[in-house]
Structure 1
Amino acid sequence: MDSSLLSSDANRVNAAELNAKVNAAVLKSGSDWDDLPEGHVLLRFSAKLGDIIKEAGYSEVYGIELSAPTAEGQPAPFHTLLILQKFLRANAGQVNAASSQLLGALKWRKEFKPLEVKKQVFDKTKFQGLGYVTRLKGVPDSVNEEDVATFNIYGAVKDTKKTFGSLDEFIRWRVALMELTLENLQLSSATQPIPDDGKGSDPYQALQIHDYLRVSFLRQPPEVKAASQKAIQLFSAHYPETLSKKYFVNVPLVMQWMFGAMQVFMAKETVRKMQWMSYGEELHKYLGASVGKEYGGLGPELEGNSVTPRYEGESVGGDVDVNKAAREKEMGV
């Protein structure tokens, strides 16, 4: 890699770190949940929470146990407010719509048991190499000094019928990957409030990369289409405000034109979160130098340096410390 790229990426890292500090100061000064004004949407949402939990018969979201306020007119506990704010931001601050989505998510989590799915052991011949959770430092324009990133490597699929043949099994694997992503966002130890809708960035979101190297868009089997549609529907409904940006890499130009034409039918917020590129080596321009060499960066390969779901015969998934992996990446271990 030439010196100009090293210099360029170093500048991006410095700018990203400065940007993160500035944004953190703005967020801290502009949002105080200890003194919410009367009628604030979080107070109104908090007031409905007890009934929502009772109707759902369940109270956990993203690893956080939701708790209703202990007194009338008071907000819910801080970490409960984090979750409520995510549902509010996903619904443009509309309490009724956010309440409906939260109720649906709670009912689904009660039935699907995603925290148990996260610990499930999967068939490595079907799913190994398809998904990774890692950390990236110095991402340009990020509000964080370090970001959680999930990589979906579709070209690693060796047998589409085997990987996607059982829709339920694929969705369970995909949910396990998402739950690992959320676990590494460390919401339970968060201390910074999330700004109201339209008033700043949510610092507790992950980046998502979809790598289509060696994938044919024109001859997708029906089982692949079914799995894709199911995953989109499920995550849109039950995992709001978990991703800040989606990057689609190694996408042929003709497909980018097609997707570009489809954007007129998409919500502006959805389009804003999507970035397309023809070559994987371009990704470092958007995510900085800590991505792997196959993405134009200086970081190590994903395998062995990331968190993954559990596979047969391996001790991975929840037992891997993604923070340790990130530190080792930085040290060149």
Structure 2
Amino acid sequence: MSDPIEQPVEKREESKPAETPVPDSSDPTPQEQSSAPKEEPKTDVATPAAPVQESEPAKTEEPKVEKPAYLTKTPALGDLFDRLPSILTTVGHGEMWGVQLKDYNDVPTVNVLIKFLRANEGNLKAAEDQLTKALKWRKEVNPQALAESGKYSAAKYGGLGYLTTYEENGRPLVFTWNIYGAVKDANATFANADEFLQWRAALMELAVQDLKMKDATEVIDYDGEDPYQMYQVHDYLNVKFLRMDPAVRTATKKVIDVFATSYPELLREKYFVNVPAIMGWMFSAMKLFLSRNTTRKFHPISNGANLAREFPAPLIEQLPKVYGGKGPELKENARIVPLTEEPVATKEEAPKESAPAEDAAKEEAPQEAANEGAAKEAQEETPKVEAPKVEAAKEESAKDGAQ
């Protein structure tokens, strides 16, 4: 039996799998690719979009830094505030009428600067100069201390000055009363002009404190009513109108000069009561050379008992009876500057009779008149008017406008 013939076995080529790219060791495996979260595309961290978006709101928030309406309405007021830091640095004192001067966001400060600006009819340079001088005077004299701890001779100043504060619709109505008929010895009272000024300034400071300007919460209208002003009453009962004593003239002139600078726009109305007929003529003459804005605040009344008629009924209940009201007398209810009972040394020679009334008419320098040019007019001679009383009235109105 023959062996079977071996058939050649045909070798089949093994089909090689298609070459697949060898994965780089750094590439993730398919499992890793499926399980790993997809990475967000990288962004340039150094220049994020967020900061760009944050800068845009700054532009839209511009209204928050806009100046208050009272500055835009009165540009000179804003200019005065721009000058304020320099003024305070130069003077080294920042208190005015109990108000610590700050920036235009502080209401009491705004009201103080409005008064100085209004007193100078909006003249920025004049207001700046006056504010600077007023601050210097307060730094040197410290009138607040004069009012709080100063003591003056009762023999010289007793009965001459009073302060009363009433109320109307929740608002204080401040009155200063100057009783010139109470002067016992004109030479003793007025001989020391500096001392007289200090006593008068102390009374004024007490009145300013009662206006409560440092507690203001609303800005006064530059062209409107100002609630931070006081009334003044000058009583000339029993005052003789003779030639003015030189000591009286010197003392009252000093008060005029200081008050005209340091207490602007603080006078609301001024009443001259118990004035003799000659003063009635004097006030008529004053209208010839003083501004209407000044004289409109002056009210001469021949009979002091008629004063109460100038005020509404609720206030009549509080005014002293001697002035037509129903309230207590000044000596019973009013405040005064602290006085002492120390004896007063007087000169041997008999003092000349003076006219405190004429001075009194000059004594308070209402700033308003002074700043409206009344002060200058008051110092000018009027050749056509020969009576010396008119010149006294000029100075009076000049300073009365100042307060």
Matched, 1:304 2:326: no
The answer to whether the 8 A contact 2:163-2:174 is kept is yes
In the alignment, the residues of structure 1 paired with residue 179 and residue 134 of structure 2 have an alpha-carbon distance, to the nearest angstrom, of 27
The answer to whether the 8 A contact 1:177-1:308 is kept is yes
The answer to whether the 8 A contact 1:63-1:183 is kept is yes
From 200, 222, 247, give the equivalent of 2:224: 200
Describe the shift of the 1:313–1:189 C-alpha distance in structure 2 as closer, same or farther (beyond 3 A): farther
- Deviation for aligned residue 1:89: 1.3
Deviation readout 1:237-258 (Å, 9 max, x if unpaired): 1110111111111111222212
The equivalent of 1:57 in structure 2 is 92
The answer to whether the 8 A contact 1:209-1:248 is kept is yes
The equivalent of 2:264 in structure 1 is 240
The answer to whether the 8 A contact 2:164-2:175 is kept is yes
The answer to whether the 8 A contact 2:134-2:262 is kept is yes
Matched, 1:122 2:152: yes
In the alignment, the residues of structure 2 paired with residue 241 and residue 98 of structure 1 have an alpha-carbon distance, to the nearest angstrom, of 12
The equivalent of 1:95 in structure 2 is 124
Letter in 2 for 1:80: T
Deviation readout 1:204-263 (Å, 9 max, x if unpaired): 011010001001122432212222222122111111011111111111122221232122
The answer to whether the 8 A contact 1:204-1:242 is kept is yes
The answer to whether the 8 A contact 2:160-2:179 is kept is yes
Letter in 2 for 1:225: R
Matched, 1:162 2:188: yes
Describe the shift of the 1:313–1:186 C-alpha distance in structure 2 as closer, same or farther (beyond 3 A): farther
The answer to whether the 8 A contact 2:174-2:230 is kept is yes
In the alignment, the residues of structure 1 paired with residue 329 and residue 84 of structure 2 have an alpha-carbon distance, to the nearest angstrom, of 43
* Other structure's SS at 1:220 match: coil
Matched, 1:292 2:320: yes
From 132, 150, 157, give the equivalent of 2:162: 132
Q: TM-score, normalised by structure 2?
A: 0.64
Describe the shift of the 1:218–1:84 C-alpha distance in structure 2 as closer, same or farther (beyond 3 A): same
From 74, 78, 86, give the equivalent of 1:43: 78
* Other structure's SS at 1:134 match: strand
The equivalent of 1:149 in structure 2 is 175
The equivalent of 1:72 in structure 2 is none
The answer to whether the 8 A contact 1:164-1:224 is kept is yes
In the alignment, the residues of structure 2 paired with residue 90 and residue 129 of structure 1 have an alpha-carbon distance, to the nearest angstrom, of 31
In the alignment, the residues of structure 1 paired with residue 163 and residue 86 of structure 2 have an alpha-carbon distance, to the nearest angstrom, of 35
In the alignment, the residues of structure 2 paired with residue 257 and residue 35 of structure 1 have an alpha-carbon distance, to the nearest angstrom, of 46
In the alignment, the residues of structure 2 paired with residue 37 and residue 201 of structure 1 have an alpha-carbon distance, to the nearest angstrom, of 18
- Deviation for aligned residue 1:137: 4.1
Q: TM-score, normalised by structure 1?
A: 0.76
Deviation readout 1:246-281 (Å, 9 max, x if unpaired): 111111122221232122221222211111111111
Deviation readout 1:53-101 (Å, 9 max, x if unpaired): 111121111111112x3xxxxx242111111011111111222211111
In the alignment, the residues of structure 2 paired with residue 233 and residue 82 of structure 1 have an alpha-carbon distance, to the nearest angstrom, of 23
Letter in 1 for 2:263: Y
- Deviation for aligned residue 1:297: 1.0
Which entry has the higher C-alpha Rg, 1 or 2? 2
The answer to whether the 8 A contact 1:46-1:76 is kept is no
The equivalent of 1:278 in structure 2 is 302
The answer to whether the 8 A contact 2:176-2:233 is kept is yes
In the alignment, the residues of structure 1 paired with residue 156 and residue 264 of structure 2 have an alpha-carbon distance, to the nearest angstrom, of 28
* Other structure's SS at 1:216 match: coil
The equivalent of 2:205 in structure 1 is 179
- Deviation for aligned residue 1:122: 0.7
Q: Name the count of aligned residue pairs.
A: 270
The answer to whether the 8 A contact 1:144-1:203 is kept is no
The answer to whether the 8 A contact 2:159-2:179 is kept is yes
In the alignment, the residues of structure 2 paired with residue 144 and residue 86 of structure 1 have an alpha-carbon distance, to the nearest angstrom, of 22
* Other structure's SS at 2:288 match: helix
- Deviation for aligned residue 1:34: 4.2
The answer to whether the 8 A contact 2:153-2:341 is kept is no
Describe the shift of the 1:37–1:232 C-alpha distance in structure 2 as closer, same or farther (beyond 3 A): closer
Matched, 1:83 2:112: yes
From 104, 123, 130, give the equivalent of 2:133: 104
- Deviation for aligned residue 1:35: 3.7
In the alignment, the residues of structure 1 paired with residue 262 and residue 299 of structure 2 have an alpha-carbon distance, to the nearest angstrom, of 23
Q: Which runs of 5 or more residues in structure 2 are unaligned?
A: 1-66, 343-403
- Deviation for aligned residue 1:144: 7.1
